Structure 1
Amino acid sequence: MKFLKFTLLLIIISTSFIQAKTDTIEVFSKAMNKSLKATVVLPSGSEDKNQDFPSVYVLHGAWGNYLDWHKNVTKPNLLQNLADQYQMILVTPGVAPFSYYYDSPLMDSVQYETYISKELIPFVDQNYPTKKDKNARAITGLSMGGHGAMMIAAKHPDLFSAAGSMSGVMNIDVRTWIGNESTQEERKKSQQEMLGNINYDYPFSPYTAVGLISEMKENNIALLIDCGVDDFLIETNRQLHQLLLENGTPHEYTERPGAHTWDYWTEALPFHLLFINQVFEKNN
């Protein structure tokens, strides 16, 4: 009996150390002729070759990289814990600063919509135990990554069943931002280099999230948008929210205390994955 109890104790102890693992991958982009890194967080149980998992792409913001969601969150192992909790594969791609995840009509080195939708996702699906179905795939992100998530999902409804934005740049028009005038001019200059002279007024350019509200309505993708009330991007989020109300697009919208900080995004991500998990369960 003592031996049996000791064996059971060993099993309990050893299983407590079974948890999500994180791979760093490097994917070559033919569209841009360069390789880009990403992390893939695998939930516990992913070693079972008979089980597939839903996947969520979690995008970083400007000045960021593929490790942001691992290094900058204020709760250790946040992604690993969430991957375990919801039995999801979480992917954090890295892109260039200020690229906003779009395909530039002027620069071959800025083709990040194509990279995410046609290169990274197929690579992950080929090499990891994902459910290869839009009903089990979602995308979300913070700031610039929120813009990327909403834009890419709007343009590729065949790939995603849910999309989210945390403190997102819902309008790349710097006139809608609050404060930081020097940063605004820098961003406007980089936008012109990548996009040329686009229309910043209504009807909005398809290179900005507010210019894709018709697609958001037609695609029937579940949408979650949130922003802190002290965030310098709050007005762009309110603008998109109002446009979606006006054209009758179902979506979840939340404002709560907070600013453009990792404290806010650390608290926001669990809500996004809860929302996404509920969409996945409904789809199944």
Structure 2
Amino acid sequence: MIKTLLFGLSFFVTLASMAAKVDSLNVPSTVMQRTMRAVIVLPESYAKSKANYPVLYLLHGGYGHFNDWITKSPDKNLIQRLADQYNLIIAMPEGEVFSYYLDSPVRKDSQFETYLTKEVISKLDNTYRTIRDRKGRVITGLSMGGYGSLLLAARHPDLYCAAGSMSGALNPDMQSWKLPPDMAKGIKQEFEKILGPIEQVPDTYATFSVINLADRLKANGQKLIFDCGVDDFLIEPNRELHRRFVFNQTPHDYSERPGGHSWEYWQNSLPNHALFFHNVLKENGSITQ
């Protein structure tokens, strides 16, 4: 019995020693004149290697924060396990509750496109051993983060070789979103804070629609993956982006699966994105081991 207990204890200690490291990083923003935080997950192999690692930027959703993927996913070890499985650094930066990861033309303290593409990447590259090239960077996220990842990829093809979206809120005009009127009104008001009233600046909303960036994403030649649950209130915008990619012949991986706008769905979706990105990074010669 004692030998069995000792063996079991040794087994779990061994598992713990193999776990990825969860780090917290302060990322100062010159453009917004404040400092925000990010969660960084380093694969177990990082401490024993001198190699440079590819980075997966993983964005949180609306009304959330940088640590959502670690604290809200039902599987609390999901991110660490994926980092170990694919030898990836996984970076989860702050996007605040409703920034949509864009540079707001209304609020000077909400310039998250510049923050993510310049300040966060620079801080990460100067803190960890990363591949400082687009061939070693990929990006995805959920809901607002899915929108943000495709927007940033479309506008910065020099930074990311692949991008994804889970249940992406792809169009700020909210056309075809299936929401109760009260909820739709509240979200519309949040968009007005960062973009202005849609009735006054419809062209701004059109410019920031990922659906309207389908041709640009095709021209960029990045590898793309996105999905949405069939019961999600955002299913129709995702289907529309898929239709546009089919029409303009953009290679992409699109899927619909059972589920709604939930952590259970995103927990099941993320491993598919990680595998997709692994294959892209392998093709690029950016896999460490």
Whether the 8 Å CA contact 2:171–2:208 is kept in 1: the answer is no
Shift of 1:12: 8.1
TM-score (norm 1): 0.92
Deviations 1:66-111 (A, max 9, x none): 1110011111210001000000000011122121111011211110
**What is the CA–CA distance in structure 2 between the aligned matches of 1:239 and 1:194, rounded to whole Å?**
24
Shift of 1:36: 0.9
Residue 64 of structure 2: aligned partner: 64
Residue 101 of structure 2: aligned partner: 101
Residue 4 of structure 1: aligned partner: none
Give the SS at the match of 1:45: helix
Give the SS at the match of 1:152: helix
Residue 188 of structure 1: aligned partner: 188
- RMSD (Å) for aligned C-alpha atoms: 1.9
Whether the 8 Å CA contact 1:60–1:92 is kept in 2: the answer is yes
Deviations 1:151-180 (A, max 9, x none): 001100011011000000111222320022
What is the letter of the counterpart of residue 201 of structure 2? I
What is the letter of the counterpart of residue 183 of structure 1? M
Residue 272 of structure 1: aligned partner: 273
Residue 198 of structure 1: aligned partner: 201
Count of residue correspondences = 274
**Identity across matched positions, percent:** 42
Residue 214 of structure 2: aligned partner: 213
**What is the CA–CA distance in structure 2 between the aligned matches of 1:190 and 1:72, rounded to whole Å?**
23
What is the letter of the counterpart of residue 207 of structure 1? F
Shift of 1:207: 1.2
Shift of 1:15: 5.0
Shift of 1:190: 2.2
Shift of 1:49: 5.1
Give the SS at the match of 2:202: coil
Give the SS at the match of 2:46: coil
Give the SS at the match of 1:50: coil
Residue 47 of structure 1: aligned partner: 47
Residue 244 of structure 2: aligned partner: 243
Q: In the TM superposition, what are the counterparts of 1:126-141 in structure 2 within 5 Å?
A: 126-141=126-141
Give the SS at the match of 1:147: helix
Residue 25 of structure 2: aligned partner: 25
Whether the 8 Å CA contact 1:49–1:129 is kept in 2: the answer is no
**What is the CA–CA distance in structure 2 between the aligned matches of 1:256 and 1:49, rounded to whole Å?**
38
Residue 91 of structure 1: aligned partner: 91
